[in-house]
Every structure is written in C-alpha cells, then in structure tokens.
A and B are shown apart, each in its own frame.
Chain A
Amino acid sequence: MDTPIHVLKRQNKKRIRQALEPFDREKLHKSITVACISSGAPTGQAESIARKVTDEVLSWLEKRPEVTSADLRRIAAARLKTYHPDASYLYENHRSIL
C-alpha cells in the first residue's frame, strides 16, 4: 500500500472540529486484541484474530486514502464479528457504556 491513509477523527458531538491523523495499524491491532481478551479469548487467539481483522481492514482501505474513525470502527467490528461475536460487540459498543 503506497498511498498514506488518513483517518478523519470526530472531535466533538456536532462535528464542528475534526482532525486528520495518519492511520496507525498498531493502534487498530491493539484495540482489537484488547476487545478479544476482555471477551474471554486466550491471548494467542486474540493476537491471531486481531492480525486477521487488521489485514482485512487494510485491504478494505486500499482504495480509500481518507476514512472516518467511525467507518473504520464499523468495518473492523463487522470483520471481527465473523471470528468472535462477543469481542465485536464490545469493540463496537465500549464507548456507549456510560
């Protein structure tokens, strides 16, 4: 993948201020691993699932130089659902617990 991908992050509720930041593969991988382990997956399995999901998200991103963080989260959750539905639920909803 040659073109750098940028993630449009929402910074407040009304989307008045938004910020672009470079896509960070490690950050995505880590957040998926955390969701898997929190959902009861063993560490090795969590790492393996996170690697597969990150690769799938990267291939989805190939023709998209700019995505929103919400889109990224939605796609990652959808891919994660095929491997670990509980982790996918937690990954998608952890911001709406409080």
Chain B
Amino acid sequence: MDTFSSLAILGLAALVHASFQLSIGVMTLMSGHAIGTKKSRAKLFRLSAAYITGAGVMTLLLLSLTVLISIHLFNGGIPLIAWTVCAGLTLGIGIAIWLFYYRRHKKGTELWIPRAFAHHLTERSKATKQSVEAFSLGLVTVIAEIIFIIPSLIVAALTLLQLEGSWQLAGLALYTIISLLGLIIIWGLTGSGHSISKIQKWRENNKKFLQFAAGSALIVLGFFIYVNQVVSIAAGAL
C-alpha cells in the first residue's frame, strides 16, 4: 500500500472515530453545566480545552498501544489472517452500530452502553469544575467508548505499521487530530454562544443519520480492507 492510500485509510478510520457520540455527549453535558452555573467564558474555554486534550492524549496512548501490540505480534510482516480478522471485526461492529448504537424506544440520545456507566459519566460531567477534572474526564470518556472505536484503532495501527518511520509519526498525529474534530466543533459552537439546548436538539433530530453514517463508514472501511489487503494479496499469490 502506498503512503497516500495509507494516510487516506488513517483519515477515514479517524473520521469514523470522530463520528461516535459518547465523548461529544459528555462534552455537551459538561459545557451545559458550566454555562448553567454561570462559569465565565474563559473558564468554559479552559474546561473544554482540558477535556479535548484529555481525549486526545488517551486516543494517542490507545493507538500507540495498539501499534506496540501489533509490532510484537507481527514482527515479520502482517499476516493475511490478521487483515481478515481486522476486516471481519470492522464489518461486524459496523453492522452492530446500525442495529444497536442508540437505545431503542428511548427519548434523547441514550447510547447502548451500561446504564451505570452512563450515569457515572453524567454525574462526573456535572461535578467537573477544574481543568484537571475535565482532562481526566476526557481520558475516561475515550476508554468508555472503546467498544465503538476499537475497529478504527486496529485498522489505523495495522496501516501505521506499513508506513515509513517519519510517516508513522505524521500518521499518529493525523489520526489523533481528525478523531477530535467532533469535539472541536462542539467547542467552537459553545464558545461562539450557541445554546446547549439547540446543539442537543440537533444531535437528537439527526441521531438516526449519525448512526447510519458511523455504521456505513465502518462497513466501507472493513470492505476496503478486505478487498485491498486480503483479496488482492490472495489473488496475487495464486
């Protein structure tokens, strides 16, 4: 795979990561409470910046860990079976997101995550008052949505392994920045005075579309990996 194709796959995987709504929901709640309790604009800016930095650091750490594990597992090159499993996982979770992403028959944007976990994150986002708490909340939220982002991380890690050294660092940075786009958009909207209720209404009105887009993007990514890495190599070996 050439450098351009690898970076394009990294970009798509990161966009899929960015489309997941748990970290966006937590940030919406945290910003809502900060505005509602009359925190200053500067304080809201600092809290949001700390939260996004926390989410970025955890994304970077998780991706680096996945790359490290892949290096140890596939030292002499990535076997066909690894690409096949990766494509299967990506397709499977893509279909699962089509079916189960949001809780059915529920108002709002309730996600298919354990209720105790959602309750804890809701309470923590209300209780967040300091930048260091917002940073930790960002770290935890990325871990909480790991079930959704794991295919993107594995695809990105295997793709990074095929890049040259300097491009690997660029790829890590590219993935991390693109994966934070959703949060950066919310940051910009709240910072420019958009009300939290309007943002949340938009999220609720478009939740089916967001679910369809996230699931479809994963299916496209899985299918592309299967064709590009499994079928083409298997056909070349014949």
Contact = CB atoms under 8 A, between A and B. Distances in A.
- Binding site of B, secondary structure by majority: helix, strand, loop or mixed? helix
B113 A38 contact: no
Interface in A76-93: 86-87, 89-90, 93
Given A34-B33, A43-B38, A90-B200, 10 more contacts: A13-B115, A37-B37, A40-B198, A89-B197, A93-B107, A94-B32, A95-B122, A96-B106, A98-B110, A98-B111
Interface in A1-60: 13, 33-35, 37-40, 43
Contacts of B197: 35, 38-40, 86-87, 89-90
Interface in B179-214: 193, 195-198, 200-201, 204
Interface of A: 13, 33-35, 37-40, 43, 86-87, 89-90, 93-98
B122 to A, nearest CB: 6
A37 B35 contact: yes
Interface string B18-40: 00001001101100110111100
Interface string B91-111: 000000000000000111111
A40 B201 CA distance: 14
Nearest to A36: B36
B109 A97 contact: yes
Contacts of A37: 35-38
A94 B35 CA distance: 14
Interface residues of B, number: 30
A37 to B, nearest CB: 5
Contact of A96 (B33, B38, B109, B121): B109
A93 B200 CA distance: 9
B29 A98 contact: yes
Contact of A39 (B37, B111, B115, B196): B196
